[in-house]
Amino acid sequence: MSKPLFFGLAIACIATSVAAQPRPSTVAMSCNQAAGLVASRGAIVLGTGGYTYDRFVAHRGFCLITEMTEPAWVPTRDTRQCFVGYRCKEAEPWSDR
């Protein structure tokens, strides 16, 4: 096997394994762990049970300029509704933001 082909295959395998990693799930974490993950990362996609997931942010600075935040509550291992941060949502055209 030639070296360029070998390195190409190695890079493809690494990229595939990174892309296949599962997202963290809130239902497998405590409320403090889930909220702490959002706070430490600033913005992160978390699974929220089954095949559902969403992007959660620590503050509006992680949203687009046309978006505002809304509080986000998710199920965790120790509580049904845990405040983990916010979701970005398109601002209403008549709101003050």
The 3-class secondary structure across the chain, one letter per residue, is CCHHHHHHHHHHHHHHHHHCCCCCEHHHCCHHHHHHHHHHHCEEEEEEECCEEEEEECCHHHCCCCEEEEEEEECCCCCCCEEEEEEEEECCCCCCC
Give the per-residue pLDDT at 70.
97
Q: Residue for token digits 């845990």?
A: 82
Give the per-residue pLDDT at 58.
98
Going from the C-alpha of 18 to that of each of 31, 41, 58, 73, 88, the distances in angstroms are 27, 18, 25, 28, 26
Predicted TM-score of the model (pTM): 0.73
pLDDT tens over the chain, length 97 residues: 555 555 555 555 555 445 556 899 999 999 999 999 999 999 999 999 999 999 999 999 999 999 999 999 999 999 999 999 999 999 877 755 5
Q: What is the pLDDT of residues 46-73, one digit of tens each?
A: 999 999 999 999 999 999 999 999 999 9
